[in-house]
């Protein structure tokens, strides 16, 4: 890859392994997490990753769900966004 523009678009997560300080490897979002990474031309990065076995929201309103249900949801997902200024070596 020689141009950052080659990253622009939506990318679907295929796997996620975490390496820990003790040398072990684990799957903190389970064995089949679901996620999307979006890179825009202006450098914006949007990421959302969720455990495949994330518990369902109680009811039809994710923002009005009981606190226990909402807490379970956030404990099984990782949303973030920001800007990237890194360069890709040629």
Sequence ranges of the domains in the chain: 4-82
> pLDDT digit string (tens) for 38-67?
999 888 999 988 887 776 666 666 566 555
**What dihedral do alpha carbons 17, 46, 89, 19 form, nearest 10°?**
-20
Q: Which of the four pLDDT bands, split at 50, 70 and 90, describes residue 1?
A: very low
Q: How high is the pLDDT of residue 37? A: 92
pLDDT above 70: percentage of residues in the chain: 68
Q: Model-level pTM greater than 0.85? A: no
Give the span between the Cα atoms of 4 and 38, in whole angstroms: 13
**Separation of first and last alpha carbons in the chain:** 7
Q: What is the mean pLDDT of residues 12-20?
A: 88
Residue 53, pLDDT score: 77
Q: With 0-12 CB in 10 A as exposed, 13-18 as middle and 19+ as buried, what is 19?
A: exposed
């Amino acid at each position: 890859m020689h141009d950052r523009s080659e990253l622009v678009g939506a990318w679907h997560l295929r796997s996620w392994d975490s390496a820990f300080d003790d040398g072990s490897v684990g799957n903190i979002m389970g064995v089949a997490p679901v996620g999307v990474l979006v890179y825009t031309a202006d450098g914006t990065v949007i990421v959302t990753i969720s455990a495949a076995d994330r518990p369902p929201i109680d009811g039809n309103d994710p923002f009005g769900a009981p606190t226990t249900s909402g807490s379970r949801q956030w404990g099984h997902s990782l949303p973030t966004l920001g800007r990237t200024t890194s360069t890709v070596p040629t």
